[in-house]
Structure 1
């Protein structure tokens, strides 16, 4: 395309030179005819022309006159381009003042067109970079705020109960053990928060490629249910694997994907205990493995569904420790799934809530 424009520009220049030369000769001829007509009826113009002719000569006058008119017509033919250059300059000055929503006008199909298009591309990338920087700054502030809140709450409780113990403000050993038990539970929660925060940060900034290993997804789901049988029984829930497949071989990082499925199972138990069961469906669609975690508890509001995988987001806005975990589990799960080239989504209605993980098999 650039070569075509260069050829077109060369032909346009040749055409302008030819047209300007022809128009200059015609105009100069007409001017000479006009002057000749004027000298027939006036003495002073005739004397001036005669003096100029005697001192300079006929050929230089013709060349000079034609050159003047040639320059005039070249400028006239390129006036539209000169005006476009002026618009480009004004647009660039306007953008340089910080108006990044403005664009450089792209009107002509010549060598300046690429300059205008590249300037627009540069402005769009700069605007996108500034937006990302502002978003990153906002995200960092939100992260600090949320982390401070989630870490301060259990830490305050730990300090408070340990302070009571240190001041001997307990009636008997039973109350002492009660205070110690609460402090220990709060410390465990603090450990989970710090671990999830570290894991999320590492997953977001990890640049190494996924080291894939072969594994059987159906076997992984069976082991998942077996390892979490006590958790299901403790919540008076049943877990069932529903699939027509005896095995589904695929490539990935099994230890990371287990983290995803453990999180989804724990999430189903925490928020779907009212339904009494969790169904895990494993299917094979095209080149993807699809795993569905379905619980039959309370429905998730439709307004919350798009935000479930944002960090620190909870459907329960109370943010008490009874409302769930750190708020990072689903965000971590999304990062792991996306690193494997897959996707994770959620749907919910009055009948069931379904978290679906789609992973490429190879």
Structure 2
């Protein structure tokens, strides 16, 4: 909370003396002007003090006495106002001095501090703007730090994920290069492993390019008007054979039967494809996959759920982090890069939407909410 500037006794005395001194100076000037004007009017000698006193005495009994001193009273009131304004200006200069002192501290690098002073309205607007600027600058610096940390983590994770398959590729090809094999069958075994590891690397590189693309500030949406229910039905048809192999029934549910919205169908298709693929890969024991779309007020809500293995509760907050794997060994086995859900989240956010995950013994579900725009 801003604190009002408190003056010390010495500072109060200086400001008071400055105001009173200005007022007294005005009165001295008044007296001098009155004397000069009266002496001129009565043609008296300026050097004769008795003449000056006589003139002042005659004014006290003069018929225009009250008119003259009424005018003088008005002048004194104006001068008093000026004197008060001088004191106020001096106080405001003192406020500026205090603000400058705090700015010097902040300029020295202490961006966690703010100008916590309550000053006059005009200066308060400047102080508030400076505090806002400092806050934005501090936030920008923190964002840069987070970005640098994020880049370092990305490089570390990519290096780790590429090193593992690359080591295997070099190892098996090295055996062939050094002719450390028994027969053609063993050569084929080595090349097969190297090929599989190469596919893992290709999958990771493709995912990285896709993630970098959706994260880029210039990444744009090619929006069209489409039916969300129709998209889910098409996805159901695309995964029909895969579902039959796994003995999973795909259920498409919608309310209403037709939900029109704007969006990039290519990006949304990849997002839903990713979520459905994850359900097949990691939803062990699932018998049903649910693709549901409905309208809720000003939103389109899409849910992709399965009744397979539950995701541990402690893993749910980290699901959309880059390179996060619920079960590292299982994900590696299935070729997961740990980028799929991060990419899905970024694509959904590009559409102004949100995605959340929930999992219990009955269902594991991903719920996506899009803003519903009217048909153009």
- Same fold by TM-score greater than 0.5: yes
**Residue pair 2:325, 2:331 contacting (<8 A) in 1 also:** no
Residue number in structure 1 paired with 2:9: none
Residue number in structure 2 paired with 1:282: 293
3-state SS of the aligned residue for 1:141?
A: helix
State the alpha-carbon separation in 2 of the partners of residues 99 and 319 from structure 1: 48
1:312 and 2:323 equivalent?
yes
Which of 230, 233, 252 is the aligned partner of 1:222?
A: 233
State the alpha-carbon separation in 1 of the partners of residues 91 and 366 from structure 2: 61
1:192 and 2:203 equivalent?
yes
State the alpha-carbon separation in 2 of the partners of residues 342 and 286 from structure 1: 15
Residues 248 and 71 of structure 1: CA distance in aligned 2, closer, same or farther (over 3 Å): closer
Residues 320 and 156 of structure 1: CA distance in aligned 2, closer, same or farther (over 3 Å): farther
Residues 122 and 53 of structure 1: CA distance in aligned 2, closer, same or farther (over 3 Å): farther
Residue number in structure 2 paired with 1:61: none
- Unaligned residue ranges in structure 2 (runs of 5+): 1-14, 32-46, 54-75
3-state SS of the aligned residue for 1:357?
A: strand
State the alpha-carbon separation in 1 of the partners of residues 112 and 259 from structure 2: 51
How much is the aligned-residue C-alpha RMSD, in angstroms? 3.3
Aligned length: 315
Residue number in structure 1 paired with 2:115: 104
1:352 and 2:348 equivalent?
no
The more displaced of 274-283 and 74-83 is 74-83
**Residue pair 1:88, 1:105 contacting (<8 A) in 2 also:** no
Residue number in structure 2 paired with 1:24: 23
Residues 70 and 257 of structure 1: CA distance in aligned 2, closer, same or farther (over 3 Å): closer
Question: How many Å apart are 1:76 and its aligned residue?
Answer: 4.3
Question: How many Å apart are 1:357 and its aligned residue?
Answer: 1.5
3-state SS of the aligned residue for 2:200?
A: helix
State the alpha-carbon separation in 2 of the partners of residues 329 and 165 from structure 1: 35
Please report the TM-score for the alignment, with normalisation by the length of structure 1: 0.77
Query: Which structure 2 residues correspond to residues 269-348 of structure 1 after superposition, within 5 A?
Result: 269-317=280-328, 321-322=332-333, 325-348=336-359
Residues 326 and 111 of structure 1: CA distance in aligned 2, closer, same or farther (over 3 Å): same
Residues 76 and 299 of structure 1: CA distance in aligned 2, closer, same or farther (over 3 Å): same
State the alpha-carbon separation in 1 of the partners of residues 330 and 323 from structure 2: 9
Tell me which structure has the larger Cα radius of gyration.
Answer: 2
Residue number in structure 1 paired with 2:38: none
Residue number in structure 1 paired with 2:277: 266
1:249-270 superposed Cα distances (whole Å, 9 cap, x missing partner): 3222111111000010011112
Please report the TM-score for the alignment, with normalisation by the length of structure 2: 0.74
1:134-190 superposed Cα distances (whole Å, 9 cap, x missing partner): 111101101110111111111111111122222232333333222222211111111
